Amino acid sequence: MKFDAGTWKLLPGTHAAYPLTVVDVRTEPDALVVTGYSKVVHARHDYLDGAIFTARFTAPLPNVVRVQLAHFKGRRPRLPAFDLDYTLANPAAEIGRDETRAWLKTGDLAVVVPVEGEWRIDFLRGGRPLTASEPKAIGLFTQGGKTYLREQLALQAGETIYGLGERFTPFVRNGQPVEIWHEDGGTNSEIAYKNIPFYLSSQGYGVLVNHPGRVSFEVASHHVTRTQFSVEGHSLDYYLFGGPTPKDALEQYTALSGRPALPPEWSFGLWLSTSFTTNYNEADVLANIERMDALGIPISVFHFDCFWMKELTWCSFLWDRRNFPDPHGMLQRIKARGVRVCVWINPYIAEASPLFDEGMAHGYLLHTPEGDIYQVDDWQPGMGLVDFTNPEARAWYAGKLRALLDMGVDTFKTDFGERIPTNVRYHDGSDPERMHNYYTYLYNQTVFDLLRQVRGEGEAVVFARSATCGNQKFPVHWGGDNSSTYVSMAETLRGGLSLGLCGFGFWSHDISGFIGTATPDLYKRWVAFGMLSSHSRLHGSSSARMPWLFGDEAVDVLRHFNRLKAHLMPYLLDAAHEAHAHGWPVMRAMVLEFPDDPACRYLDMQYMLGSALLVAPVFSETSEVTYYLPAGEWRHLLTGEIARGPAWRTESYDYFSLPLWVHIARGQRWAYLQGFAPEP
């Protein structure tokens, strides 16, 4: 959100106040508190008609500083708040002052402020400048009848910024305005399903804005030397994670916000879907499972998309008996083949669903401010939404899903969660603006907790689309509605790498694209990328994704890469344990593993799978791919070729191969990274 018109002026209709002068500094046992005044004081009359700003600094963890900015401290807290570990305490933090400055030090990170004179905040790491809130960076603005509090953190020359959720715009955020606001818009737009108010810097630090509602970022796009973030209201709360590497900052951030649960091993295998609007019944489902098995392409999970329920009733959680007359028996027949079952759900309840009357009678659905059930003709006629702030509504919703688990369902695709209105009333009095993004946390937490309770620790997994800060605890997430083009394949990867830099360890996507139907060429290339992702699912919209629909060679390619993923499974499970223990994604942007290599800062068409395996998908029907090997000695997993980096390479690959390089020094502990023999 923009407030300034260049360097010297404000936008028309905008008014501002800034903390200009430090008027008080006090040290407390666990905090440094600084008070600023909105005027430069020359005489006693300057103390009239000004504004007071307070900055409170604490250290919940070593190398982590929390900054709480406030104007008008009498404002009551609003719900909801992020589910952070607020109990963390850091007794090793040092708080002190001398004649000219005051400080809070935690590990190698320090925040330093003057004890008088001009207001500013400096963040140091190892005694050297890291970033700063310079004069007039913090400001209180009125615009359009609303009040906003802003912060700006200085950027160093050449510094690059990443993250802010699963974003499909350019991978490096510099130059971009970003609105943290969930919307359902596909992968070819600037809006996103997974908005996370957390970013990583190439300087090895991270920042979380602790606000679950709308946060407006201007990343070197408004003031080109600063990253700006602002929220509506009179308070602003953020954490700075000092690193010193991006992996360290991710580990610190996820220690506070939560680390991914470890998904069950079976979830890493191939998922096959009915797809969205295709026609299918029990006979079709079983025939597809049997044919995949006969072709030597075993699947781990079969997914029933929307039409397992009757049209116009989503969600009823009742099988459409016209196509599935014996759902319990069908599920047992599928599971007898060693295949798990996933079914599609969402938090919206159509008026024609029998659950609507039940939810309305008990107050389980969202209400308008006037007390009516909130309804809209969007997606499903007259649909309402479950109020997950009501514990009884959560138990009711979970109870409907428990019946499906008892029947034999193993997991759920928790779709949607973005179309959440703000003109509603919540059971617990939550602010609708703050709940818009946070709704998905309660929704997915409800489902994941049920799975953990019924199936046991280590067996819970969902296939979720929307997310906010903390949703990484409930894996897996997939990339939403992409298209069957090479451009969309690239934007899909870009979004996944961006999400991974926000602590999401496990991520998937619709192999060959959701919208449209891929050419056989694109299908085969996307299969290689999809099977070298943490989780792999064949899914589409109006057409199915079985490999034989794309030709005999597509069957062979899918079999080849399915075997390759099975060969790599011990390595992938080690990477999964790292995600669970440290918050590092299984699919890692090159900058995360090679932060000191300037060439890796902008790379978004290749990635590291774990710490030792480089993957560069082919994004062109020409079969050519240009990619970069960082410093070190590398071995191609499929050909055995040895190469040394740093080096750029341009090569052509057939459908059974792609740049897949093992960093020899990093890969020594995994014997199965020495090579992979193709099927005879």
Q: What are phi and psi of 347, to 5 degrees?
A: -90, 10
Residue 325 DSSP label: S
Q: Count other Cβ atoms within 10 Å, centred on residue 647.
A: 12
Q: Measured between alpha carbons, how far is 18 from 136 in angstroms, rounded to an integer?
A: 6
Residues 341/375, Cβ–Cβ less than 8 Å: no
- Annotated catalytic residue within 481, 521, 556, 604: 481
Q: Count other Cβ atoms within 10 Å, centred on residue 8.
A: 6
Direct distance between the N- and C-terminal alpha carbons of the chain, in angstroms, rounded to an integer: 59
Taking each helix axis as running N to C, give the angle between helix 552-582 and helix 520-531, from 0 to 180 degrees, rounded to the nearest 10.
30
Q: Measured between alpha carbons, how far is 658 from 237 in angstroms, rounded to an integer?
A: 45
Rg (CA), the chain: 26
CA of residue 391 relative to chain centroid, distance? 26
The beta strands (E) that lie in 250-406 are given as: 270-273, 301-304, 340-345, 348-349, 376-378, 380-385
Taking each helix axis as running N to C, give the angle between helix 520-531 and helix 486-500, from 0 to 180 degrees, rounded to the nearest 10.
10
- The residue with tokens 């008070």 is 35
Q: What is the DSSP string of 138-181?
A: SEEEEETTEEEEEEEEE--TT--EEESSS--S-SS-TTEEEEE-
- Annotated catalytic residue within 415, 491, 510, 604: 415
Q: Which residues have CB under 8 Å from 605's CB, separation 6+?
A: 490, 493, 616, 617, 619, 627
Nearest-5° angle of CA 173, CA 178, CA 179? 160
Pairing of strands 139-143, 198-201: unpaired
Taking each helix axis as running N to C, give the angle between helix 282-294 and helix 327-335, from 0 to 180 degrees, rounded to the nearest 10.
0
- Annotated catalytic residue within 410, 418, 510, 578: 418
3-state DSSP assignment of residue 264: coil
Residue 498 tokens, joined: 């961006």
Q: Is 449 a catalytic residue?
A: no
Residues 308/314, Cβ–Cβ less than 8 Å: no
135 preceded by a cis bond (ω within 30 of 0): no
Residue 526 tokens, joined: 């996307």
Q: Is 326 a catalytic residue?
A: no
- The residue with tokens 């106040």 is 17
Q: Is 184 a catalytic residue?
A: no
Pairing of strands 376-378, 340-345: unpaired
Active-site annotation, residues: 415, 418, 481
